[in-house]
Every structure is written in structure tokens, then in C-alpha cells.
Amino acid sequence: MSGEPGGPPYKEPVAIPIVGELDLHTFNPKELGTLLPEYLAECRRRGILEVRVVHGKGTGTLRRAVHALLDRTPGVESYRLAGSPAEGGWGATVVVLKSVG
């Protein structure tokens, strides 16, 4: 399906599995402001209270954006950089969510 003539095509919505891990590599950074809070809210509703957000190491820009957003997101108890290489090291952030209710 396409958008305006000469414009970019519309993208169909993509279902994201809610499994306690969100890899941001496949998303446009402009989507972060709605994607991350909605994903975390759905995790809370499902009782998933620890979520790993993979932002990559890179320049740190995406990591800083994720952390700034987490600071403003209701339902976030705390977060930290993943500690071990198995968790993703400093290329991932582990988020602890408040329980619902």
C-alpha cells in the first residue's frame, strides 16, 4: 500500500511479542516515545515486571533517550544497565516495573 504520490509507502502495523525483551534495533528511533511506554504498560498488565530493553552500544544516543524516557514513564520502579555480557552489558537496560494493583 502506498501513501501520497511520490511519498513513502505506508507501513502495516507489526505485532510485537510481549516476552519481557524489546530489541530497539528494528525500530525507527522516532517511534521510541510511544513504543517503549506502550510496551512496558503491556508487560505490567501481563505481570512481566522485569524487562530487558536492547538499545545497543553505539554512540550512546539511543541509550540516553531510553533512560530519559524511563525517567518519565509511569510504572517504572527502577532501571540499570545490564551487568553481565549475557544480559547485554551496556548495550541493554534492565527495567523493573511496579506491579499493577
* Domains of the chain with bracketed CATH: 21-97 (3.30.1370.110)
Q: For position 5, what pLDDT does the model report?
A: 58
- Does residue 21 register a pLDDT over 80? yes
Determine how many CB atoms are found less than 10 A away from the CB of residue 82.
17
Question: What distance in Å separates the CA atoms of residue 9 and residue 6, rounded to the nearest whole number?
Answer: 9
Report residue 10's pLDDT band, with 50, 70 and 90 as the boundaries: low
- Does residue 2 register a pLDDT over 70? no
Nearby residues of 47 by Cβ (< 8 Å), 6 or more positions away: 99, 100
Strand pairing of 92-97 and 76-81?
antiparallel
- Does residue 46 register a pLDDT over 70? yes
Query: 26-38, pLDDT tens digit by residue?
Result: 899 899 999 999 9
